[in-house]
Chain A
Amino acid sequence: MKKSAEITTAKELNKVLLDTLVALKNGEIEAPVAKGVATLADKVNKNNLNILQYKKITRQPAVIEFFE
């Protein structure tokens, strides 16, 4: 079985988002699909930021694998 494509870093996420933007502008994707991708990416981003903020408050080193 093939492995499903996973997003493991922030750079990959940005690349996916850029591709969706270009596809939306060219008319290859419908608007609701792009909107769904955007909301998911936003949730992921917010979650990471929350983790970073929590680490800052508890004075832990602010490092996450997602940004490496």
Chain B
Amino acid sequence: MTKKLEINPDGRICNLCNAFLPWSDFSPQSNGPNGKKSRCKACEAQRSREYRKLPGFNERNAVRQSNWRKKNPELNKATQDRAWIKCKDDFNAKRLYAYHNDPIFRAKKIALDKARKRRKGDLSEDKWQKKLENQSNYIKRAPIEVREKISKTAKAYREELQDAYVLRAIMHLPPGEFVSPEILETKKLVVKIRREVKQLKQVS
């Protein structure tokens, strides 16, 4: 004889922590009697966290994943494409934002571009010129929101006299170079005076 289950509409007791919790704190399980798991979400997360810490887990997992990728390459490519379409715009926007705000990121990018230029011999001239055009038109082709964001940040970078801007203004020092704060302060004051003089000229 099958035993009838009495389901409480408010919630149930967790098997691990023995606390009465609402149904929203239990993740679903299709073959379970209630359609929910017997352990709450927090306990499940804790268990999986401990399981991932066991020795050899990462290696076993990597082997399993690589085997799956070798077995079904088409599925793997499809999942990769789907993921790229989802995060493409965000990724590009973040990269542009970082280029205009994060000096370390920009330095890395410039270094990479220089390295690529050295490898110019690999491409024919037409292809190389096309590539350069694409790179220069990248900001023009970006969506309006991204362009607005860039223009705003660039304006703030110039008007608020951020440290990276002042460094560039002093002697084209690479961004991220450490210079004593007094030097930066004097340069900031000099730039402010020059701007004031320019404004006075324009008014007169």
Instruction: Name which residue of chain A comes closest to B191, CB basis.
Output: A38
Number of interface residues of B (CB under 8 A): 18
**Known contacts A17-B186, A31-B201, A67-B180; is-contact A37 B171 (Cβ 8 Å):** no
Q: Which of B171, B200, B201 contacts A49 (CB 8 A)?
A: B171
Give the number of residues in A that approach B within 8 Å (Cβ atoms). 24
Interface 1/0s, chain A 27-68, versus B by CB < 8 A? 000010011011001101110110010000000000000010
Q: Does B190 touch A at the CB level, under 8 Å? A: yes
Q: Counting chain B CB atoms within 10 Å of each CB, which of A10, A21, A42 scores highest? A: A42
Q: How many A-B residue pairs have CB under 8 A?
A: 64
CB-CB < 8 A to A18: which residues of B? 189
B179 touches A (CB below 8 Å): yes
B36: Cβ under 8 A from any A Cβ:
no
Contact with B along A3-38 (1 / 0, CB 8 A): 000000011011001101100110000010011011
Cα-based distance from A13 to B187 in the complex (angstroms): 11
Question: Contact: A42 with B190, CB < 8 Å?
Answer: yes
Chain A contacts for B170, CB-based, 8 A: 45-46, 49
Query: Is A21 a contact of B186 with CB atoms below 8 Å?
Result: no
Q: What are the residues of chain A within 8 A of B196 when measuring CB–CB? A: 21, 24-25, 34
What residues on B are CB-neighbors of A31 within 8 Å?
A: 197, 200-201
Q: Smallest distance from the beta carbon of B32 to chain A beta carbons, Å?
A: 67
Contact A35 B194 (CB under 8 A): yes
Q: In whole Å, how far is B181's beta carbon from the nearest beta carbon of chain A?
A: 9
Q: Which residues of B contact A42 (CB under 8 A)?
A: 186-187, 190
Say yes or no: A20-B187 contact (C-beta < 8 A), given A49-B170, A67-B182: no
B192 beta carbon closer than 8 Å to chain A: yes
B112 to chain A, nearest CB (A): 25
Q: Name B residues whose Cβ lies closer than 8 Å to a Cβ of A.
A: 170-171, 179-180, 182-183, 185-187, 189-190, 192-194, 196-197, 200-201
Question: Which residues of A are at the interface with B, using a C-beta cutoff of 8 A?
Answer: 10-11, 13-14, 17-18, 20-21, 24-25, 31, 34-35, 37-38, 41-42, 44-46, 48-49, 52, 67
Provide a sorted-by-A list of 10 A–B residue pairs whose CB atoms are within 8 angstroms.
A11-B182, A14-B182, A14-B185, A21-B189, A24-B193, A31-B197, A37-B193, A41-B189, A45-B190, A67-B180
Additional pairs, 16, CB under 8 Å, beyond known A42-B186, A44-B186: A10-B180, A10-B183, A14-B182, A14-B185, A17-B186, A17-B190, A21-B189, A21-B196, A24-B197, A31-B201, A35-B197, A38-B190, A38-B194, A46-B171, A48-B183, A52-B180
